[in-house]
Structure 1
Amino acid sequence: MTLNTHLRLLADIRGASPSDPVPGRAELSEHLSQRQTETGDTALAEFAYVQQMANAKWGRERTAHFAQVLRQHRVSQKPPRKTAWGEVEALLQGLPEPWRSPIAGQISLSRQGKRVLGQTLWSAAHTLNVIRALKRWAAYCSVHGCSLVPTGSSLDAFGRHLFADREDEPSITARTVADYQARILSGITLVQPGFASTACNFVVADWRNRADQEGAVTKTGAQLVGATAIFELGFQHIDRARSSRMRGLDAARQFRNGLILAIGTALPQRARALSCLSFDSSLCLRDDDTVGIRIPASMLKLPEDRKQGAPYERSLCNPRLAAALREYQQLFRPIFDDGSAVFPSIKSRNAAISQNQIGRLTGDMTQKAFGTRISIHRLRDNVATQASETMTATGRAAATLLGHRSQTTVARHYDHSEGIQSAQEFGALLSSIRGASVDLDL
């Protein structure tokens, strides 16, 4: 009986000795291409079995390239995802026709990113939020027969209508209502030149006051588990990847996910900033102890006219994290593709995961480990709280870590340190302060 190429390769592997050379990447890629032509997707399952046999014969280090070959043939290059501004332009068409031209002009101005006297630039995120709020306002006006130009009473009625929908939309709070109202006024001011309403401003201020009294209902004390615990959870995932029986995509993904938690704690920035990290550009391994970070201003939460400014630069003095990143870059990251994104996508080659996916993964891992879902933004709370409680610089250090100019902002939104130290044992959160930067030592 004549063996097909798959069975012949398996026979060759089974008959080889541990000291024999391992089939190379080019040879394996040619083999898999031929089998895909012959059997379609069945060839992928065949090759996964081939990798298992090779791993048993030669070990995971010598057969890691099998996973690269399988990944290359399993996942195709996909079109780049729609940009934030692309989403804005698509959503624009859902607005009432008279509003589209003024909003389109604001979009054009803001996309240029240049300061214009008397004009406020909008970020893509803010523009999306304004358009969504205007669409909801227009739908409400259509149903209730009120003017598209708000008054104090109609804007308040809209707020009460939103607040009453909490059973259907549990995420709606007094702060959500105030945000919607403020965005509606921002948009109406643009599309209705000369619009001004003291009554409407009073309504927004009233709902903001309610929100302040209500507190941050989306945040709970259970989510404050300590920055060190989250950092260690990241390394638990990394250690599982290291000890995996086979160095394949599953191990590479677990290592990547562990780094999301470890880096997210050591570099308490928002998910958007973390999503742009790339080896040898925004993240550099300077030496055995130091990780250099350089995030473009365009990826930070800044006023739009400051997004052409200086990047966010930090040095993370952390030998353990530096060693993990070096190991990942050399041994696990290449399994995804030949790109340089620190957090590559599973579904697409040569692409990074989105900021939303970073948030989902962070929540999933912390939910499973701690029984409470900690978002990437809530992770910043844990860093600020631990920094405020364990450091002599307290709020000043926390403000620098989070990139806030004001320690009052940190105290209001992030610092929940009271009582935590008595419940947990913390190590030092910071190793040194150098000028305007703070280096985390976790």
Structure 2
Amino acid sequence: MTQNDTGLLTLLPEEAFSARVPTADALQTRLAERLAEVGARGLAEFAYVQKRAAEIWGAAPTAHFARVLRAARVSSKPASKSKWQKAKAATSRLPASWRDIFQQSITASTTGKTVAGHDPWSADYFLAVINALVAWVGFCEAHDMPIAPTGATLEKYARACVERRDDPVSERTASDYLQRIHAGYTLIDPGYPSRGCEYVMRDWRERSRFGGTPTKTGAQLVTAKAIYDLGFSWIGDAGGRPMRGVHAARDFRNGLILAIGAALPERARALSYLAFDQSLVLLEDGHIHIRLPASALKMLERLKLRSDGRDTVFRNPRLHAALCEYQAMYRPLFDDGNCLFPSMKAPGMAISEAQIGRLAGNLTLAAFGTRIPVHRLRDNVATDASEHLEGGVYAASALLRHRDIATTRKYDHSEGVSAAEEFGTYIEDQRAGSVDLDL
């Protein structure tokens, strides 16, 4: 300590540093006093004290400094709206005469009832339909067209979406827009559908089959092993930081997103549900138990009501050890919760599935020069599994839990557990070192 050290060092005189680490309660009390004395400057002073304390006592014994500083810096945020609440709120953007219809249909779907004579819709699908209808109404008003779709107006809209100068879409996306507009208008007016509309939708659907997906490129086919090792590279970097603070915890968390995304190739929605001792349980001998509710999985709403979700136990000692370390040493630096991927900005809350996808994309872009979001990561896992697992494409299909093999032909769902076990063993056996990050 130097004579120039100020602020919180009045709580921590030089002789205190040769004795014992101050408790969290003592730090909280003094920080509160200092904030009352000098305002926000006290936070900067405390950050300096945290750094000096780590230099003297080490990163592990002073990890609680990070919790004290985070509690003072970050305020609690209101709970995020559920997807059903977001869908209901989105109806306010629709024409007034449509809002009650959509509100009632959303309520019906939450209880598993049919919508317009069809299976219940998911909250995600309601949001997609509402967004498509809002864009459609805007287009019709701008071009002085009737809002009720016809074959000619749907064709005009699809072409405009594909050919526009700013942010054009693929034929596949245009086809999706038409289908959502059609589905939404069927809800508004069950007697509306015309043969012209159905012909145009079928035509664009056929075009999209040959047009490919421009958002997916060959450059994104990085091996699952490389992505898995990249995750552990971030985990290793977090452990090597001289100070165990919230930024080290963030790096460990982000590394786990990639490592778990490769070892348990689920969608971002499912990953956002993971929580210690609830949906993720660490068992003995390197075994990990995953229990995901049906609401976390991609399936029809009527099937979700009857499904038990996903219940899988697989063995991965390296990932198990990392999760144990994270749970004991890094996860508590965020808050007292148990969600696997907590928010940096909102104590007690998990990051969203969208944020999980963005983080995966950012990390892979920095390391590989191409953005690989979580869903595209599943494609890389499928490629590796098809090439290296004994069952080939069938094992890949089971591993990713595809329902049919037109994505990869029909398969037996019971193969999924063994495929996950086999794939985890494969990427561990193939591990030859970590990926160097070019940041």
TM-score, normalisation: structure 1: 0.90
User: What is the alpha-carbon distance in structure 1 between the residues aligned to residue 126 and residue 292 of structure 2?
Assistant: 23
The alpha-carbon deviation at position 392 of structure 1 amounts to 1.5
When residues 116 and 376 of structure 1 are mapped into structure 2, their CA distance, relative to the original with a 3 A threshold, is closer
User: What is the alpha-carbon distance in structure 1 between the residues aligned to residue 275 and residue 419 of structure 2?
Assistant: 21
Q: Which amino acid aligns with 1:15?
A: E
Partner of 2:247: 250
Aligned pairs for 1:31-430 (under 5 A) are 31-114=30-113, 118-165=117-164, 167-170=165-168, 172-308=169-305, 309-410=307-408
When residues 330 and 157 of structure 1 are mapped into structure 2, their CA distance, relative to the original with a 3 A threshold, is same
Of residues 296-305 and 77-86 in structure 1, the stretch that sits farther from structure 2 once superposed is 77-86
User: What is the alpha-carbon distance in structure 1 between the residues aligned to residue 74 and residue 23 of structure 2?
Assistant: 20
User: What is the alpha-carbon distance in structure 1 between the residues aligned to residue 417 and residue 75 of structure 2?
Assistant: 46
User: What is the alpha-carbon distance in structure 1 between the residues aligned to residue 359 and residue 416 of structure 2?
Assistant: 32
When residues 63 and 345 of structure 1 are mapped into structure 2, their CA distance, relative to the original with a 3 A threshold, is same
Q: Which amino acid aligns with 1:399?
A: S
Partner of 1:419: none
User: What is the alpha-carbon distance in structure 1 between the residues aligned to residue 9 and residue 417 of structure 2?
Assistant: 64
Structure 2 gaps, min length 5? 428-439
Secondary structure of 1:351's aligned partner: coil
The count of residues paired between Structure 1 and Structure 2 equals 417
Partner of 2:15: 15
Q: Which amino acid aligns with 2:420?
A: V
1:98-129 Cα deviation digits (max 9, x unpaired)? 22222121111012235689442111110011
Contact 2:394–2:409 (CA under 8 A) maintained in structure 1: no
Secondary structure of 1:407's aligned partner: coil
Of residues 271-280 and 31-40 in structure 1, the stretch that sits farther from structure 2 once superposed is 31-40
Secondary structure of 1:199's aligned partner: helix
The alpha-carbon deviation at position 438 of structure 1 amounts to 2.9
When residues 122 and 436 of structure 1 are mapped into structure 2, their CA distance, relative to the original with a 3 A threshold, is farther
User: What is the alpha-carbon distance in structure 2 between the residues aligned to residue 169 and residue 93 of structure 1?
Assistant: 26
Q: Which amino acid aligns with 1:75?
A: V
The alpha-carbon deviation at position 83 of structure 1 amounts to 2.0
User: What is the alpha-carbon distance in structure 2 between the residues aligned to residue 126 and residue 25 of structure 1?
Assistant: 47
**C-alpha root-mean-square deviation of aligned residues, in Å?**
2.1
Q: Which amino acid aligns with 1:235?
A: F
Contact 1:314–1:437 (CA under 8 A) maintained in structure 2: no
Contact 1:295–1:312 (CA under 8 A) maintained in structure 2: yes
The alpha-carbon deviation at position 346 of structure 1 amounts to 0.2
The alpha-carbon deviation at position 88 of structure 1 amounts to 1.5
Contact 1:288–1:323 (CA under 8 A) maintained in structure 2: no
1:49-106 Cα deviation digits (max 9, x unpaired)? 1111111111111111111111111111110122222222222112112222221211
Q: Which amino acid aligns with 1:120?
A: D
Secondary structure of 2:314's aligned partner: strand
Using the aligned pairs only, state the percent identity. 47
Q: Which amino acid aligns with 1:8?
A: T
User: What is the alpha-carbon distance in structure 1 between the residues aligned to residue 399 and residue 274 of structure 2?
Assistant: 17
User: What is the alpha-carbon distance in structure 2 between the residues aligned to residue 168 and residue 338 of structure 1?
Assistant: 45
Partner of 2:435: none
1:9-50 Cα deviation digits (max 9, x unpaired)? 34x2x32455x2211111111111111222221111111111
When residues 320 and 4 of structure 1 are mapped into structure 2, their CA distance, relative to the original with a 3 A threshold, is closer
Contact 2:313–2:417 (CA under 8 A) maintained in structure 1: no
User: What is the alpha-carbon distance in structure 1 between the residues aligned to residue 56 and residue 282 of structure 2?
Assistant: 34
1:235-284 Cα deviation digits (max 9, x unpaired)? 00000001111101111100000000000111111101101110000001
TM-score, normalisation: structure 2: 0.91
1:194-240 Cα deviation digits (max 9, x unpaired)? 12222211111111221111111111111011000000000000000
Structure 1 gaps, min length 5? 413-431
Q: Which amino acid aligns with 1:393?
A: G
The alpha-carbon deviation at position 379 of structure 1 amounts to 0.1
Q: Which amino acid aligns with 2:167?
A: E
Secondary structure of 2:322's aligned partner: helix
